[in-house]
Amino acid sequence: MDNIRNFCIIAHIDHGKSTLADRLLERTQTIKITEGQMLDDMDLERERGITIKSHAIQMEYKHNGQTYILNLIDTPGHVDFSYEVSRSIAACEGALLVVDATQGVQAQTISNLYMAIEHDLEIIPVLNKIDMPSAMPDEVEDEIVELIGCKREDILRASGKTGEGVDDILQAIVERVPHPTGDPKAPLQALIFDSVFNSFRGIIAYFKIENGEIRKGDKVKFFNTGMEYVADEVGVLKMDMVPRDVLGTGEVGYIISGIKDATEVKVGDTITHVARPCDKAIAGFQEVKPMVFAGVYPIDPSEYENLRASLEKLQLNDASLTFSPESSVALGFGFRCGFLGLLHMEIVQERLDREFNMDVITTVPNVSYMVYDKHGGVKEVHNPSGLPEQTLIDHIEEPYIRATIITTTNFIGPIMTLCLDKRGELINQEYVSGNRVELHFMLPLGEIVIDFYDKLKSISKGYASFDYHLDGFRPSRLAKLDILLNGEPVDALSALTHQDNAVSMGRKMCEKLKDLIPRQQFDIAIQAAIGAKIVARETIKCVRKDVTAKCYGGDVSRKRKLLEKQKKGKKRMKQIGNVEVPQKAFLAVLKLD
């Protein structure tokens, strides 16, 4: 056990974590690097150049004549995947804090660092990309010293591209990161920190052993679900899975026990022996709190059960996805899914399409509100259609977040304007170092779920980093905006919005839908309503057939008779005709500006 080191790599987006991980794997001769970012094995990760999943891999390193086993977990840097990071941190004793020498400390660096400090991890600061011509190693070192209070000589300089300084990092991991502590003789206690679905072998759970040991063929029990299994295969994670007969305290590995049902494995659960169970589960990580809710519906209603199975399998691999069944008048049966952010929502939609061939419609994302009625009751509402009658509502509270934005001084003006337009309040601003400023805002979560991050990136030329956490609920003047097609409300397009923005939003939605809904043989009235009051209207004119073409000459009453006959037919058609709303229309509502 003294020769095991478990560590993860944490950093902001694009600070070179995965490239540095490649160099560590290469230097310890774990694998041959054939292309960049070997641990990012999902097509989506390769295409977008981001890490979506945490990846665990074992390396062997010789130091002073002894062989050390290093378990590395590479983590995502985007704020939407911070739950992945929290789980990786729970399975480690140390962390490499990677900072880009050209960009300095950014918001997500700070937020991941605090998470690691809460878990008492040994932090090794690494200055990456020092080979770049625009690197500012001295200034960035000052920022790191100020951030974690370490000595300047503790900071390692490295380059993931050229491999410079990689040996120093490996040496520092062996010397500075503490070995796992646990009792090999105690009953088995292993923390599940991730799981994947394999169509041939069932569900594979990844764990870290805190106490005791596990052997192939042992009868094991999952503590929280109470299910019992036989460990058909246990082993360690190299680039592929490598079976072993026994795994001891402090080791990171996998277990295959032929589990078929996705609901039986919970990330954060504890594995123990049936014969000699441990007395309590390991305190796992906090329950995930979804920030953005959207309805996901199959385009073909008969695919509902397949969609449920696909979401369950996806949830194994991405524990921060939550879902519950719901139904909609316009779209039939589907699920209300909770995501950690908009990028997370986009990735889930893309993975459903690629990995499970599911065609889905996603409704407008929104957040959850607390609705207080006049009898003193309170109800959590995720969907505008779940609101009680307007006359029964006393007041509505919406979630607020505390946002941290780090940027350079020349972008303060536009960023402040953006936040104040989104009903934000400035709490304080402090200068971090040189010309960099840290701004703290209170913002309603509902205002940032759709396009805030994209706008922030474009007005600051990509130079603002953004991080946030929930900060309770506050009363707010909200109005429910309904969209009616021929007098029928389309519940998938309804939205809860602030009263000041409701009318302009209604107008924009009507104009947008007029362009997107195809013409029918009858007039379609598109209306936006707040309660019983119509605030905007557009009409899509019908496609007409020239019924009077065959009338040449003669009395005008012949034409009139034909037109009256057509009018009656249109009226009858309107009673039974239904309006098809294309998927483009739902997506267009997201991009109203």
With a threshold of 0.85, does the pTM exceed it?
no
Tokens, residue 164 = 């410079």
Q: Where are the alpha helices (DSSP H) in 225-273?
A: none
What are the backbone angles phi and psi of residue 111, rounded to the nearest 5°?
Answer: -65, -40
Cβ neighbourhood burial of 255 (10 Å; 0-12, 13-18, 19+):
buried
Q: In whole angstroms, what is the distance from residue 381 CA to residue 164 CA? A: 53
CA torsion, points 8, 13, 16, 22, in degrees to nearest 10?
50
Residue 380: partners with Cβ closer than 8 Å, 6 or more residues away: 368, 369, 370, 371
Q: In whole angstroms, what is the distance from residue 74 CA to residue 80 CA? A: 16
The residue ranges of DSSP E strands in 477-532, in sequence order, are 478-485, 488-489, 495-498, 524-530
Residue 37: partners with Cβ closer than 8 Å, 6 or more residues away: 18, 19, 22, 45, 46, 49, 51
Residue 64: partners with Cβ closer than 8 Å, 6 or more residues away: none
Q: Let me know: does 514 contact 483? Beta carbons within 8 Å.
A: no
145 residue type, one letter:
V
300 — alpha (psi -120 to 50), left (phi > 0) or beta? beta
The residue ranges of DSSP E strands in 118-169, in sequence order, are 122-128, 156-157
The predicted pLDDT at position 39 comes to: 58
Q: What is the pLDDT of residues 167-215, one digit of tens each?
A: 888 888 888 888 888 777 888 888 887 787 777 888 888 888 888 888 8
The predicted pLDDT at position 501 comes to: 79
pLDDT under 50: residue ranges of the chain: none
Q: In whole angstroms, what is the distance from residue 107 CA to residue 79 CA? A: 9
Q: Let me know: does 214 contact 220? Beta carbons within 8 Å.
A: yes
587 — alpha (psi -120 to 50), left (phi > 0) or beta? alpha
Q: Residue 460's CB: how many other CB atoms inside 10 A?
A: 20
The predicted pLDDT at position 48 comes to: 64
Closest CA to 444 of 507, 394, 476, 401: 401
Nearest-10 crossing angle of helices 583-590, 499-516 = 140
Q: What is the pLDDT of residues 454-489, one digit of tens each?
A: 778 778 766 677 777 778 888 888 888 888 887 777
In DSSP terms, which residues pair with 534 in a beta bridge?
529
Sign, CA dihedral 509-513-514-515, equals: positive
Q: In whole angstroms, what is the distance from residue 327 CA to residue 307 CA? A: 14
Gyration radius of the chain's alpha carbons: 29
How many CA atoms lie less than 13 Å away from 314 in the CB half-sphere? Answer: 27
Residue carrying structure tokens 């049936």: 274
Count the residues in the chain.
593
In DSSP terms, which residues pair with 110 in a beta bridge?
none
In DSSP terms, which residues pair with 372 in a beta bridge?
378, 395
Residue carrying structure tokens 């109005």: 479
